[in-house]
Chain A
Amino acid sequence: MPTSALPTQTLLDAHIEGRLAFAISEVARQAPDRLAIIAQAGSDSRRTIDYRTLAVAIAALEAELDATRPVGIVARASRVESLVVIAAACGRQHVHVALLPYDSRDLVGEHNDWLEVDDSLSLPAAPTGGRMRLEFETVPPEVTVATSGTSGPPKLVDHSWDSLLAAARLAEHWHGLGWLLVYDATRWAGMQVWIQAMLTGGRLVVPASREPDTVARALADEAVAILPATPTLLRRLLTSGDAAVLEKASGSLERITLGGEGADAGLLERAHTVFPKAKITQVYATTELGEVYRVADGRPGFPSNWLGKALPGGARLSLRSDGELLVRLSRDTAEVATGDLVERRGDRYEFTGRRSDVIVVGGAKVYPKRVEEVIRGVPGVVDVRIYGLPSGITGELVAGEIVLAEPLADGATPESIRAAVLAICRESLEPHSVPRILDIVSQIAMTAAGKTPRRAR
């Protein structure tokens, strides 16, 4: 595979805000025929674009920004290539940009006087009386993104280009690879994927949907090397994706990067079996903090001796008495409560879920992930979700959904498997943790961020 001809040092020499646009233009100049973004909107309309197209669009948008100098740009685009162009152009032109997913677009209030750019990539005329950027303004341009809203409503967070690009891997062996984008391109996790692909002359492969078969086919057909995903997305792919297609995909898959939720040992083992060549990295990052650490040893959680030590990125981890993980990014920054709960298991700390995921049944706490781990071991069950259902009697009640194997083993019926699940829960869990409502569904629900929802819908 020919590597991108963009030397890392040349890229690092470019000003950080302009680095994205610079990388796209440079690679376009050197290898204009290589694919940059492969999207499959619909079954037959396969659009391919090359870096040259992106570079030209960035230049055109920059020319307009030069003429109007708006306070900021709100990207209303739905296509990944448009988002890339808008972000790159705004960065190089020193214009503040907000990339907002659909569920966060009513948060735009404070950005009322900003201009909107959609997939047409043309700038509307500046509103009369609208604030224009002043010549002497020295505030560095930032990038506004929305949190995923896993716990509570989404909120807007401002990032510097520094923090946005900090996690990108720029070493030569990361160049020219195929990246799968299953995340929403406007969310932190998704942005990390396309930024990484664009900075390293990679191919960004965007499947038409998150359906396991569609994702599996995109991996196999486009010979994807890197799969960034949440444990929920990966579990779905492994349990419901076509086995033959997954086997083909395993030929090219070099790395799986998990983030957004804690992964359990069962999932990590299964991923290793299906994709034996792939290195599995677990990234701990939040929209507010950016990347905190990564673990690559294929085991859940992180080593217990990491507590209190400075990690490679400079962050320090500590625990609150209730098990909530606290992060201090550097000596100069405040300690941040992450909302993630961990528990010591042997020489590891493993994630037991979000503090807000905890289901409180008559005053007793239930950790949904723990219940899910028990149920995943039941033969015939391929996936499970445990969530809290409001109750006027006990505050909340433990409820669950299970997906059954297809076909079922001889002699098994959906009712017999459901009964077995409840029986095993009664044996291994405290009474209040046993699911009181247990439905058989064809697929587990997923949030926009690709995580398992923890509340009744």
Chain B
Amino acid sequence: MRIIVLIKHVPDTWEERVLDPATGRLDRSASERVVDEITERALEAALALKDSDKSIEVVALTMGPGESTGAIKKALSMGADSGIHLVDDALAGADAMTTAATIAAALRDAGADLIIAGNESTDGRGGMLPAMLAEHLGLPALTFISDLVVEGGRVRGERATETATSVVSAALPAVVSITEGMPEPRFPSFKGIMGAKKKPVASHSLADLGLAADATPRAASVVLSCEPRPGRTGAEPIVDDGSAGQRLADYLAQQRLV
């Protein structure tokens, strides 16, 4: 079985993230980039399956600028067998439609039995790419699942929406997106870090994927404006001297909040 995990390099949520007001795009120089934690959990899910069945091959795929090889290296050192990097200058500032079309083109003939993604990126917060890929590829999508079992040619999981919690399943091949309910990722071992250097990484441009730069989707999302909002300044906190509960009640009443 071949599992392709979609990993994404994102600005570290521990730092202040900055948008370029002129373009509304991410200011890449402003913060450190890390592998989005949810995609490390997606990789963990694949590696856990591989732990119990060594014949499983795990491939880490990312679309992003040159520096995103760092994300693939991390995935290889955690235990992925190989990497695929989709990189092309024409992809700078790609919207969701272009991203989905590009990743779908790379997946189409990649022979994946299972494609595992995170449910939502911490930078874009769209949470739609997995469903879009499934539509492109004609595959079922088990999205936002908080556990994952592969058995008898099917994948199964639990999926909570705002209105119901369901058990959902699909025959392989399928696309899955996982939530934070899945286990935390493992750390790369020393052996993993050393071994990563020898693992193959394929790099593909749009032309390699058979996509001309102008063959990307016609409809596109365009940023019109981008403005920073003033940060908040807190008031000096009071130290409880035995009356803080009473004082807080008075404050809430005075603010007409109770």
**Do they bind each other?**
no
